[in-house]
Amino acid sequence: QVQLVESGGGLVQPGGSMRLSCAASGVDFSRIDWSWYRQAPGKARTMVALIGHAADNTNYINSVKGRFTISRDNDRNTVYLQMNSLKPEDTGVYYCNGWPNFWGQGTQVTVSS
């Protein structure tokens, strides 16, 4: 049984930082590409960052480039999203995804003063 447990969300002020974690079990973690998605209020869920199974391939949407960093620890079966210089438009529910269709429950990130 595949289980993804996300943590690290919460409330942060604009300009602040936050790190999300997604711990996976029941899946061959090291062989899968992992992504973080974001769903803002009233909007569709969209991919924010991706890391390939080799970890040397990462991709980001333009709005987070230079601010967010996705990483993975194959020994801990965990994928991370380090978010710096957060903006109010980064607010949303963040989901981790293991290709093709493994999803976490989501964690709320709110950027507000």
Reported as a single tens digit per residue, the pLDDT across 45-67 is 999 999 998 767 999 999 999 99
Residue 78 CA to residue 50 CA, distance in Å, equals 14
Phi, psi values for residue 33, rounded to 5°: -75, 140
Give the pLDDT score at 56: 76
Which positions of the chain have pLDDT values less than 50? none
